[in-house]
Amino acid sequence: MSQEKNAAPGGETLLGSLSGYFRPRSIVMLLLGFSAGLPFYMIYQNLSLWLAEAGVSKGEIGLFAWTGFAFTFKFLWAPAVDRMPVPILEKMIGRRRAWMAAAQIGIALSLIAMSAANPQGNLYYVAIIAVLMAFAAATQDIAIDAWRIEAATDAEQGVMAAMYQYGYRVAIMVAGAGALIVADNVNWPAAYQFMALLMGVGFLTALFAPKVEVREYTPPPRAGLAETFSRSVVGPFRDFFSRYGVHALVILLFIALFRVPDFLMGYMTGPLYIDLGYDKTTIGAIRSGAGLFATLFGVFLGGVVVARFGVKTTLLVGVVSQSLTNLIYSWLALSDATTAGLAAAVIIDNIAYGAAGTILIAYMSSLTNTAFTATQYALFSSFYALPGKFVGGFSGFMVEGVGFAWFFVITALLGIPAALLVFFLGRAEKHITKAAPQDGDVPAAP
């Protein structure tokens, strides 16, 4: 990595921090974030609402959280995104953008396939399409994350992460309010077809975004299967552990626990809204209106704070804020179903969610080596999703057992382990040695 890439974040003036939001590549990041947010929301929040309306049990709805294991285990095929060419497209637009475009085509096709689903008649079909959509969306995320990390220095990652979150949240507004309004006035299949059409935004961005080159790509010499596996799969993991030693385990454990409260509670908010009697238009308007602006403020706050004070200083704030705000859903579950109550819960939670997400993305980005950008970042993002996705599959059964109010209290308490681990990360950081790429570890062209 270059010396600039290794520069520690922090120390910028406020004006310098703000100017980063208007750079051309930051705008590209905004559009790519939009492309990433559309399928994710249609797999989770909107699908849970559709299933709840169709009369599917809470236990079965909760199991659909396991479709997210495609995001959790994306590090298994991330080496392919790093190393394998995409026929035709790669020669035209480069590897990173070619993988983005291919994945976006897959997402659009799966959204169209989901529009033909009937949750009451064939729940297995819905599950299969949801898994395929998640696989394509996870592949898109791998390529976008690699492009983002290679397009900016460590000091700029907070702003790039914030712009990604901004685009993601705009997609949430469109997928939340827009799709729900279409579902309310037409039907759910039309909503999924509408989202398939909007994937064209990401596809066009992938075609015309700047081609990021960490260095000039030279195809590696032909090698045997064992040597190829060692370089492409084992190499990125060996590099990370060689730089951090045993402290890598502390870092991975922290990343794994950071998002558990949000992942566990996330798939049950939709069924809560349906149980309380809110209609889809009200849910969509609040989540994608007030909720969007609250998240954008949180994302902005997280990006500025990371640029001003550095990632390590803000980790504890991210952990504590996102956990404590889960308690407001316990209050909502025990309150009357008022529009003001729903708006208050969504706004407070989304501010914390947006800030915490930016902080975590910037932290994970700072840990990568550009020789293995896609694979290492996929490793980190998989670790942060694995425990939450696993326990999230049981969230419906938990609600059936203890009720919504106590369920959200439990999710808040699960943030305590990550908060405690923040204090051990400082020791791990003292032992970091940024390793130079080994001979033969040539990164793929984006």
Report all structural domains of the chain as residue ranges with CATH numbers, in order of start. Answer: 24-429 (1.20.1250.20)
Question: Which of 175, 149, 139, 159 shows the shortest CA–CA distance to 46?
Answer: 175
Q: For residue 215, what pLDDT is reported?
A: 42
* Residue closest to 380 by CA, chosen among 178, 213, 236, 267: 236
pLDDT tens per residue, the chain (446 residues)? 333 444 444 445 555 556 666 677 778 888 998 998 888 888 877 888 888 888 888 888 888 878 878 877 777 787 788 778 888 887 788 778 889 899 999 999 999 999 888 888 788 898 899 999 999 998 998 888 888 877 766 666 677 777 887 888 788 778 878 888 888 888 889 999 999 999 998 898 888 877 665 444 444 455 555 665 666 667 777 887 887 777 788 888 888 888 888 888 877 888 888 888 888 888 888 877 788 788 878 888 888 888 777 777 788 888 888 888 899 999 999 988 888 999 999 999 989 888 888 888 888 887 777 667 667 777 777 777 778 778 888 888 888 888 899 999 999 998 888 888 888 876 656 555 444 444 344 333 33
Structure tokens at 136: 């394509």
148 contacts 5 by C-beta, under 8 angstroms: no
CA angle 94-156-418, nearest 5°?
105
| Closest to 441 in 3D by CA, of 359, 384, 375 | 375
User: CA–CA distance from 243 to each of 247, 251, 291, 369, 441 (Å)?
Assistant: 9, 12, 40, 10, 15
| Closest to 94 measured CA to CA, from 137, 147, 141, 139 | 147
* Upper half-sphere CA count for residue 366 (Cβ side, 13 Å): 25
- Whose CA is closest to 101, among 75, 70, 140? 140
- Whole-number pLDDT of residue 9: 43
Residue 337 Ramachandran class (φ > 0 left, ψ -120 to 50 alpha, else beta) = beta
Contact 167, 33 (CB under 8 A): yes
Tell me how far apart the alpha carbons of residues 284 and 181 are, in angstroms, rounded to a whole number.
7
